[in-house]
Structure 1
């Protein structure tokens, strides 16, 4: 049986204000061609189909289009919700969807009820663990009278206890796949993931998933292998500049008669690369070496000693996809390192205003600006200040 493992689509997400839905549709729709070309039997999606619990109509439309394309390509689909999804909304009409080959595993009560599919070697049981918010999940799981430890590890341990009990009851020879949305110890995070820490702890040990032939993980946006059978597919697009070096991909997983066989990585197309630049504004605008970055999403850190006027407008004249700007003046800010009490001690209103201007611009105000400050104070009836 051949499985395609993907996750963290985050349909509807924007990138520093830029709409990504068109890029998301193009990249994800291409998975249907991969399903056909590679003879994929099952597509598993390990959470965060959407970026919001209540997605836009446009995001829902793209999701429907992609799922339909995967189904038309011949794949059965098994998916679970992540921490960005609404499990009840995602799981609506699950029983009807299953009749068409779309299996929505969104209920805690059903996490040990697998989707069972057969190949020439026998049965494969697909278990979907929806994202488990520790406190409500623990309360739900304890309704049968069993005490569960607090935190992510506690609820995932209980989820896997139920799954392994069901798997054991099915007898020998049944191979297993588990979908889970969690931060497993050893994984490398990025800036675009929403924190799921409870009491300062968000990670769970890999040992929780022992005994499973393949664990399809979601939540972390970088593709990575924790163990041969324990992998993150990562997100299909980069959602932060910390991911600019990622090679976005999906996993193609083969199960043979003995369990896990070959696992291959398939890289996805990159609609628009990400890049970062640092330097003085005039230098960045003039340097011909930066011409190749004109079509990249760009994050720029300016080092001008004095804050330039309209820097983003000027940058976008050369780099139309510049989306993020920071200013870190060479030598540091004027009052860098001073506590508030030290910065204001002994200063009158005029001096405080002048310090504020210096902090914002990186240079002391000139005589013209000081006179403007005096005029402003005088116009509102403030204290007469000395020029």
Structure 2
């Protein structure tokens, strides 16, 4: 069986104000063509399909179109992440036929989606967990102990994920005992210990903890592959030879400058009766390069940066004094600059200032201008400050 693992599409997201809708369209076109070219048996999407619980209409239409095209070629298994609304994403799930499975409810998470092989026999089992928020899922994951008492999982991601995995492993053990070994994979949206985060994932900490140890998903001989979502960098996690093969597909697009060095991809996973046989990372389309450029304004306007004019950039200008019309000059040079900031290269020694009611407010304002602008305040600027301050005082006196 050939499975295409992807996640964290975040349809509806922007990048520093830039609408990524067309970039998402290009990615989904690529995904459809990849499924066709590689004869993929199923696409699994491990959460965060949308960027927010109530997505824009255009994003809903984009997903509808993508699922229609994908299910014309293969099967799709999809779960919500922490950005999605499980209820909205799962609307109508009971009406979908066998080529689209949206697993958005905790009930039934121990029952897999059975993918048929070319002969119609079970070719792979896909257990799909929706994002398990500890506060929202503990009650439904309550178990009956050996003494008959009801035991609710602790308020942590580790506890609720472990409770869900006990249901999965119990079902898998029963199926394996009853017949030939069928490869099994799990979809989960979680922060697994050891994963490298970026700046664009939403914080999911509860009680100060967000991580789930990789051992929760084991042992290695049971589940063959764990298809993870949540972290935006494609990476393998877990202990090789101890845990199942565990990967984050990562997001198909970069959503922060911390992801500039990521090689965005989807994972083609080949499964056999003996488990994972191969994993191939397929690069996703790059709408524009993302990166940083740093230097004095004169250097940035020079020929050395000619190859960066088409990139999405974070521009850091290092002149000691903030240049006039900084944004305008940078925008003419780099029309796709997303962030422009002034960080003087020479760090001046400044005594820590404590503002008290005894200080002259105009003096404090002048000190701030000097610290922020890298030069003393001009007389004209001080005059504006003085006029504004006196106007406030006059207003207070007349109140």
Please state which band the TM-score falls in when normalised by the shorter chain: over 0.9
Query: Larger deviation: 192-201 or 219-228?
Result: 219-228
1:91/1:377 CA distance change after superposition, 3 Å: closer
Name the SS for the 1:239 alignment partner: coil
- List gaps (5 residues or longer) in structure 1: 383-387
Q: Is the 8 A contact 1:77 1:102 kept in 2?
A: yes
Matching residue within 334, 346, 350 for 1:319: 334
Q: How does 1:1-387 map to 2 (within 5 A)?
A: 1-72=1-72, 74-97=73-96, 99=97, 101-119=99-117, 122-142=122-142, 145-172=150-177, 173-210=181-218, 211-227=222-238, 229-285=245-301, 287-332=302-347, 335=350, 338=352, 342-344=354-356, 346-380=358-392
Q: Judge which range, 240-249 or 164-173, deviates more.
A: 164-173
Q: How many residues align?
A: 377
Mean CA deviation greater in 307-316 or 24-33: 307-316
Query: CA separation in 2, counterparts of 1:148 and 1:32?
Result: 40
Q: CA RMSD in A?
A: 2.0
Q: What is the SS of the residue equivalent to 1:155?
A: helix
CA 1:247–1:367 in 2, change beyond 3 Å: closer, same or farther? same
Q: Distance in 2 between matches of 1:169 and 1:143?
A: 19
Structure 2: how far apart are the matches of 1:60 and 1:111? 25
Return 12-21 or 222-231, whichever deviates more.
222-231
C-alpha contact (below 8 Å) 1:111/1:127 kept by paired residues:
yes
Is residue 237–residue 247 contact of structure 2 (8 Å, CA) maintained in 1?
A: yes
1:284-339 deviations in Å (ceiling 9; x for gaps): 12x2111111110000112122222332222111111100122222233675x725
> Residue by residue, what CA displacement relative to the aligned partner does 1:97-146 show, whole Å, maximum 9, x if unpaired?
2x151100000112112111222674421111000111221122227623
Displacement over 6 Å in runs of 4+: none
User: Is this contact kept in 2: 1:167–1:174, CA < 8 A?
Assistant: no
Do the aligned partners of 2:114 and 2:122 also contact (CA within 8 Å) in 1? no
Tell me the distance in 1 between the aligned counterparts of 2:35 and 2:83.
26
Question: Does the CA-based 8 Å contact 1:175-1:259 persist in structure 2?
Answer: yes
Bigger mean CA offset, 32-41 vs 357-366: 357-366
Cα drift, residue 235 of structure 1: 0.4
What residue is the counterpart of 2:147 in the other structure?
A: none
- The TM-score normalised by the length of structure 1 is 0.92
Conserved in 1, the CA contact under 8 Å of 2:13 and 2:51? yes
Structure 2 stretches of 5 or more lacking a match? 145-149, 395-399
Measured in 2, the distance between the counterparts of 1:378 and 1:259 equals 77
Q: SS of 1:110's equivalent?
A: coil
- Greater mean deviation of Cα atoms: 258-267 or 77-86: 258-267
Say if 1:375 and 1:147 are closer, same or farther in 2 by CA, change over 3 A. Answer: closer
TM-score, normalisation: structure 2: 0.89
